[in-house]
Amino acid sequence: MEGKEQVKAYAEADFSQANAQFSRLFRSAFPEFRGEGRILDLGCGPGHILRDFALNFPGCTCLGIDGSQAMLDQGLAHVVQPNTSSVTLQCSCLPFTDDCRTWQVILTNSLLHHLADPGHLWQTIIKCAAPGALVMVMDLLRPCSEQAAAALVKKYSGQEPQVLQDDFYHSLLAAYRVEEVREQIREQGLDLQCSKVSDRHLAAWGRISP
């Protein structure tokens, strides 16, 4: 996501509901997590989710990577705050294979449907995850029709700028169904579960084998 108007609209939009849902899902999937270690956010965008993790888990080292410097630039001011975990944002594209097998937590929200090859996400997770790492993937869920997609856009982003509404519509139609994500996970030999978690989201989560 590099377009100036698109990036600005995304960074200014209110995704607090979806971001809170991501944090809730993480806490309910991994109640034992005490906030230590290294957290990697793939396709972090402006870094809102990573900022929430840094605030809630002050003992971590957090890295967000995103292929768009323009998106990262929108986020820096929000993320770097005192009394939080250390947060670094870095411009890198998937597949990302730095620091292999050293990340205790891998997060990603709303990236999967952007990738030309969804395998790049799962392969990155496999390469980066430390043994026993916690993985939380959330993404949009493809609706059953274009009409259903248009209804979701109207319901959730009818007040947002047109560029954001268009983006949401196209993203919904580019997203996967639960069965498709389960198949991607199975193909990669990962042990993650995947479910519908709202009328427009799915999530996949689990632990990487120790």
Ligand X SMILES: C[S@@+](CC[C@H](N)C(=O)[O-])C[C@H]1O[C@@H](n2cnc3c(N)ncnc32)[C@H](O)[C@@H]1O
Nearer to ligand X, 77 or 93 (CB): 93
Q: Could you tell me the smallest distance in angstroms from the CB atom of residue 166 to ligand X?
A: 13
Q: Which of 9, 39, 40, 44 binds ligand X (CB under 6 A)?
A: 44
Q: What are phi and psi of 163, to 5 degrees?
A: -60, -35
Please tell me the count of residues contacting ligand X according to CB under 6 A.
Answer: 18
Q: Could you tell me the smallest distance in angstroms from the CB atom of residue 161 to ligand X?
A: 15
Strand 103-109 to 37-42 pairing? parallel
Distance CA 38, CA 100 (A): 12
Half-sphere exposure of 109 toward its Cβ, with a 13 Å CA cutoff?
Answer: 22
Q: Could you tell me the smallest distance in angstroms from the CB atom of residue 210 to ligand X?
A: 27
Cβ atoms 154, 142 nearer than 8 A: no
Nearer to ligand X, 173 or 191 (CB): 173
71 is a site residue for ligand X (CB under 6 A): yes
Position 186, amino acid:
R
Q: What is the x/- site pattern for ligand X, positions 79-108, by CB under 6 A?
A: --------------xx--------------
110 is a site residue for ligand X (CB under 6 A): yes
161 is a site residue for ligand X (CB under 6 A): no
Q: Which of 19, 14, 189, 41 is nearest to 103 (CA)?
A: 41
Cβ atoms 62, 41 nearer than 8 A: yes
Q: Could you tell me the smallest distance in angstroms from the CB atom of residue 95 to ligand X?
A: 8
Q: Which of 74, 104, 109, 165 binds ligand X (CB under 6 A)?
A: 109
- DSSP secondary-structure letter at 204? E
75 is a site residue for ligand X (CB under 6 A): no
- DSSP secondary-structure letter at 13? S
119 is a site residue for ligand X (CB under 6 A): no
Q: Which of 78, 114, 127, 177 binds ligand X (CB under 6 A)?
A: 114
The interaxial angle of helices 162-174 and 4-12, nearest 10 deg, is 90
Q: Which of 86, 123, 108 is nearest to 40 (CA)?
A: 108
Nearer to ligand X, 94 or 105 (CB): 94
Q: Which residues of the chain form contacts with ligand X (CB under 6 A)?
A: 1, 15, 43-45, 48-49, 66-68, 71, 93-94, 109-111, 114-115
